[in-house]
Amino acid sequence: MRICCFPPVISIILLRRLGSIAAKSYARRRRFSVWTDKYTNASLSEIVHGGESGISPHTLILLNDVENPGVVASVIRNCHLLGASAVILGTTRGFNYTQSFVKTCLRHSMAYCFGGPHVIAGVESTKAATMLSDSYGYTVGSLCFDATSNRVSSFTI
């Protein structure tokens, strides 16, 4: 059995190279953080009032208690293709959407390549739907899966 050991000079060179790779990886993560701000810094009232474009009304998608970032990423990708202005991650059971969850969703949605809608996290779903329909005149539609009948029901408020 032979054990290979690098001489100290080569070990230092390898360590420096691996260290620079780690530094580049850290810098890439920092840059990713910078570009996600434009998708996550808008509030619901800014979007409803027209946001940067000043165009109103908007199509808004409200997801309630979705815990899988892959599902949210797919919705973000499809909402961008269909022209939605924002994806609202709401909750009724107290699920806490962390900043890393939202960034993971944006990363998986490929929004950094193709663009995407704003993502608003941590909104109470019932209050948001009530506010949008009462205060701003939005028509709120919902899809609800009924596990007992294995069907999707559609409601409009």
pLDDT of 152 reads 59
Q: How far is CA 18 from CA 9, 10, 12, 45, 147, in A?
A: 14, 12, 10, 46, 51
Q: Give the tens place of pLDDT for each residue, 93-120.
A: 777 888 888 888 888 888 777 778 888 8
Among 18-32, 45-59, 68-82, the range with the most confident prediction by mean pLDDT is 68-82
pLDDT of 157 reads 54
Write b or e for each residue in 78-104: b if 16 or more Cβ atoms lie within 10 A of its Cβ, otherwise e: ebbeeebbbbbbbbeeeeebeeebbbe
Tokens linked to 72: 């949210």
Tokens linked to 148: 């007992």
| Residues 89 and 63: beta-carbon distance below 8 Å | yes
Residue 151 has pLDDT above 60, yes or no: yes
Q: How many CB atoms lie within 10 A of CB 114?
A: 10
Burial class (CB in 10 A: 0-12, 13-18, 19+), 74: middle
Domain boundaries along the sequence of the chain: 34-156
Q: 15: pLDDT confidence band, cut at 50, 70 and 90?
A: very low
- 130 or 34, which is more confident: 130
**Fold of the domain built from segment(s) 34-156:** Alpha/beta knot (3.40.1280)
Q: How many CB atoms lie within 10 A of CB 25?
A: 10
Torsional class of 71: left (φ above 0), alpha (ψ -120 to 50), beta (otherwise)? alpha
Determine the average pLDDT of the residues in 130-156. 74
**Least confident among 35-39, 114-118, 136-140:** 35-39
- Mean pLDDT across the chain, nearest whole number? 73
Q: Return the percentage of the chain with pLDDT > 90, whole number.
A: 1
Query: pTM score, two decimals?
Result: 0.68
